[in-house]
Amino acid sequence: MEYVRVLAGKDAAAAIRALNDECRRQILSLLKSRRMSTSEIIEFLEHQHPDRRIKPQTVRYHLKELEHGGLIQQDGYEPAGEKDTHIMKKVWRAAAENIFIATSRTGESAPRPPTKLNITDLMRKLGFEISDESTVKEATKRYVEWDSLWQQGREASEEILLKMPQLDLEEYLTLRRLLSVILLHDADYTRYWEVSKAVSDMFRRIYLEGIGKNPEVY
């Protein structure tokens, strides 16, 4: 079993569809722990949900969807019943211990739109006092631009990283963080740092102005 598998584009879209079901997520978690046949999976689910009727055809359908999504794979066959039987059953396992779903401009999944996060409300939850309405509007506007520029670089970085084999999750995230800025075009690169400094300076000023007013946070 791989330690980490990174999925992007069409693979990521298929994985997301496959994971959009509680039973499939449970099966995937189960197959991360050990290899299991379809009948063993059914037996486990029946034990976990005694009030439900677990249909074999439903479990086989879920396995097919998980396999199509690149999340599990067949791992050979085992005798069905007695060891000397000629009837064999499929054995399944998870494709990787960790599945990381990325986005890509070349795939089916749509790019993430500019953040809808209300950054000023979030800062207020931290205890920052932002009373000036013009500051609220300016902070939100700059943060959205900052996030949008970073998204452009992230999409380009993911296209490169998907071509690099044998990256563990920590390596992937570290390189993506660096490349997301480095790969920006010159004008966007310059603008990214201008906006980055403006956003950071703005929130640092708000933070410093609030020191002492909220001991639980500061």
pLDDT tens for residues 91-129? 999 988 777 776 544 343 444 444 445 666 767 666 676
Give CA separation, 161 vs 77, 82, 101, 104, 171, in Å: 34, 47, 13, 11, 10
94 within 8 A of 31, measured Cβ to Cβ: yes
Q: Please give the Cα distance from 112 to 118 (Å, whole number).
A: 16
Are 90 and 42 in contact by the 8 Å Cβ rule? The answer is no
Over residues 155-201, the pLDDT tens digits come to 888 788 777 766 666 777 788 889 999 999 999 999 999 999 988 88
- CATH code (residue 78): 1.10.10.10
Domain boundaries, position 25? 2-101
Same domain, 95 and 125: no
Instruction: Examine the domain organization and report whether 96 and 10 are in the same domain.
Output: yes
Say yes or no: 132 and 198 in one domain: yes
Establish if 112 belongs to a structural domain.
no
* One domain, residues 7 and 96: yes
Same domain, 81 and 132: no
Query: What are the tens digits of pLDDT across the range 8-58?
Result: 777 878 888 898 898 999 999 899 889 999 999 999 999 888 888 889 999
Instruction: Report if residue 41 sits inside a domain.
Output: yes
> How far, CA to CA in Å, does 77 sit from each of 32, 65, 117?
18, 19, 49
Whether the Cβ atoms of residue 27 and residue 63 lie closer than 8 Å to each other: yes
Paired with 2 in beta bridges are: 96
Structural domain count, the chain = 2
